[in-house]
Structure 1
């Protein structure tokens, strides 16, 4: 396992623990050997009222990129599962921030990009995501 992979797994476990601590039932999808060719979201979380399918990405500071396929697979799974699709991003020494795929910048090549400044300025933090903060607005989709 490469170093960045190990770090990604550690970050995912961190996210799972944070959601768990906030009363969500959480599952990490298996990274490989999935039953279908379609990508599975990294994390599934629900508290009985709201359900999220999360694609989790972390970076030292460079922009985070997702392929169009990754995002399409997430949205497809979330819709069929009855969950809200979210991209979770975490930059070093920062918290997790969440975006609906429609709110991400799309590149000319058809991939999706999140810059650190954008995450800090516009991302939904975990308190907001889990309903621990009054500031909502993601309920629309």
Structure 2
């Protein structure tokens, strides 16, 4: 089976965009028909957050993924310790990302992303980058709450620190 040249080009483009955003990134050339193992198209991480991405592109028609593709991505992501993302790119648009649970499921058990949904609701590469930074603030909140629980900080001091 010959791989889709446009799809390969789009995957390389995604790798370059993620690299420019500061992620360590690699394309999994063994994804698709080249192996019996189900691998995501792209792996990306910045030390704080890690993503396994199934990348799809379209001229403008809705993008469909099979239930098996999405299940394989979620399974790999859980095993690897990454966040699963479906990356979609429509012609003349940017890349947009979705967690599999945020996609529309068809009656046949497949997943669909429409262009207008991607533009309205999709995460961008800067959004993906911001998740790791946001996780740092989440750990700060946890630290403040632990200090309250241990009696090191009063509730008032904690409220002031977190506002």
Following superposition, the deviation at residue 43 of structure 1 comes to 0.1
User: Per residue, is there more helix in 1 or in 2?
Assistant: 2
Distance 1:10 1:71 in 2: 22
User: Per residue, is there more strand in 1 or in 2?
Assistant: 1
Question: 2:116: which partner in 1?
Answer: 117
CA contact (8 A) 2:21 2:125 kept: no
Question: 1:7: which partner in 2?
Answer: 6
Instruction: Provide structure 2 residue ranges, at least 5 long, that are not aligned to the other structure.
Output: 139-163
Distance 1:120 1:65 in 2: 16
Larger Rg: 2
Give per-residue Cα distances to partners, 1:39-65, cap 9 Å, x unaligned: 210000000000000000000000000
The alignment's TM-score, normalised by the length of structure 2, stands at: 0.76
Question: 1:51: which partner in 2?
Answer: 50
CA contact (8 A) 1:43 1:54 kept: yes
Question: 2:34: which partner in 1?
Answer: 33
Distance 1:24 1:92 in 2: 24
Question: 1:76: which partner in 2?
Answer: 75
Question: 1:94: which partner in 2?
Answer: 93
The alignment's TM-score, normalised by the length of structure 1, stands at: 0.87
Question: 1:107: which partner in 2?
Answer: 106
Give per-residue Cα distances to partners, 1:19-72, cap 9 Å, x unaligned: 1111111111123433xx332100000000000000000000000000000000
Instruction: Provide structure 1 residue ranges, at least 5 long, that are not aligned to the other structure.
Output: none
* Secondary structure of residue in 2 paired with 1:98: strand
**Segments of 4+ moved more than 3 angstroms:** none
CA RMSD of aligned residues (A): 2.2
The alignment covers a number of residue pairs equal to 133
Following superposition, the deviation at residue 135 of structure 1 comes to 9.3
Question: 2:126: which partner in 1?
Answer: 127
